[in-house]
Chain A
């Protein structure tokens, strides 16, 4: 088996380096985190810290908007599960916004669709009962 040779594969298209964009806004007393980019082992800690920060500031009803997420793996799932536990400890809630099949698939395979409320819009997520 040939070892990986980075020069032997053309890069498909120019990409910015792995970055994670996080914006937080308030919608109907829910803290909405708009995530953009790829959530993997290198960027997941940034999301984790932001979610910890929100809970420590007293935001216990959180919506994580995954519509801008291009990639999600088990490290991202682990961060979301950790955040769910944290808000639940304060009788809070954590729901997700996701309509992308490729991301929903990951939640389905791991059984997390039974664990997280998943909505098709931020308005729907924030409008529901906390």
Chain B
């Protein structure tokens, strides 16, 4: 999956650093969905969908687990952030736009956008 989204990002004109950002962000969202499914025993699919616009790439990652988890514990007993908190930090930093939504019918949706800079003339 990372290969496909990376190819799209590169073909859309993003530079290599941004291509890496997209791969990491989409991977993070998918990993979170996988963990949500595992932890809640849900066997619904994790879906990834994207649309390439001229000025941005929109990606949606969805799961069918129970509605979005409560705010995770920020710090564990030794002062380290949980994996999920680190993951969200990465998503917030790497995606230009980010939102978390609950889906009708159950599950969560993570929407992110990556802007494509205008080509240099």
- Chain A residues close to B by CB (< 8 Å): 1-4, 6, 9-12, 15, 40-41, 71, 73-75, 77-78, 81, 85, 101-102, 106, 109-112, 115
Contact = CB atoms under 8 A, between A and B. Distances in A.
B3 A11 contact: yes
B7 A73 contact: no
B90 A41 contact: no
Given A78-B83, A85-B80, A109-B89, A3 B4 contact: no
Contact of B28 (A73, A81, A115): A73
Contacts of B58: 1
B86 A1 contact: no
Nearest to A5: B4
Contact of A74 (B6, B10, B86): B86
A4 B83 contact: no
A40 B1 CA distance: 12
A95 B37 CA distance: 33
Contacts of B10: 12
A73 B4 contact: no
B83 A11 contact: no
Given A4-B50, A9-B7, A106-B24, A74 B2 contact: no
B78 A85 contact: yes
A74 B90 contact: yes
Nearest to A81: B80
Given A11-B7, A109-B89, 8 more contacts: A1-B49, A1-B51, A3-B47, A4-B50, A74-B84, A74-B90, A109-B94, A110-B89
B23 interface: yes
